Amino acid sequence: MYAAKRLYSSSAQALAALPPLDRFVARARDEDAYGWRRWAASLLAIHQPQRMIRLDCPWWHVEATREVAEFLAARPGARVFEYGSGASTAWLARRAGEVISVEHHADWHRLLSPLVAEFTNVQLWQRELAGEDYVGAIARAGGLFDLIVVDGRRRIDCLTHALPHLKPGGIVLFDDSGRNRYRAGIAQCGLKERQFHGRSYCVPYPDYSSILRA
């Protein structure tokens, strides 16, 4: 499966460099954010955060993304904490008052940092995965958060650490929630789950994201 995903990613990146498809991706930024053209363009932007940021798409389920956008629109100035940085960091920055995003991979952090530098409401942290530095980063951020995104490594540990820092009425976006290794932890976290399965940005196959709330 890993080899197939790598082949798909490299093929999509090669196709995206062709002038007609490059123009298609550029035009898709002005299309419906949740429509088929924007989704199709995202398939050509997999593992290319620059393209994803221009498209204004996070790598989540499409309808889960719509629900998170509506949630943030109803809460001007919302605070967001994100485990696992990426194009979603920029997407969140455009919609929230403050975004703190923690990333374990130093090279990815270096790649992403200049891409989100224009967003003055973003703090992009790099923390080692071992020990408590990564999962415990939310405690060091201080305060409560309207939205917590769990989309990096050690996801169940992150969810457990995040729960005391969720505002009343807040939500958790837990990506790739269909993976077997996450199911027990989600079921036992004490929040109600709404699981989305189907069309997701960047991938041609149906995938999962969940929104958790009290």
pLDDT in tens, 149-162: 999 999 999 999 99
Residues 135 and 209 in one domain: yes
Q: Which residues pair with 193 in a beta bridge?
A: 212
Residue 66 sits in the same domain as residue 49: no
Q: Which of 55, 70, 87 is the last residue of a domain?
A: 55
Domain count, the chain: 2
Q: How far apart are CA 59 and CA 86, in angstroms?
A: 8
Pair (181, 129) in one structural domain? yes
pLDDT in tens, 4-40: 666 666 776 766 566 766 788 889 999 999 999 999 9
Residue 189 and residue 140 share a domain: yes
For 30, what's the count of Cα atoms within 13 Å in the CB-facing half-sphere?
4
CATH number of the domain bearing residue 135: 3.40.50.150
pTM for this model (two decimals) = 0.94
Q: Are 77 and 44 within one domain?
A: no
Separation CA 22–CA 45 (nearest Å): 10
The single-letter code of the amino acid at 164 is P
Same domain, 192 and 117: yes
Residue 174: which domain range?
62-213
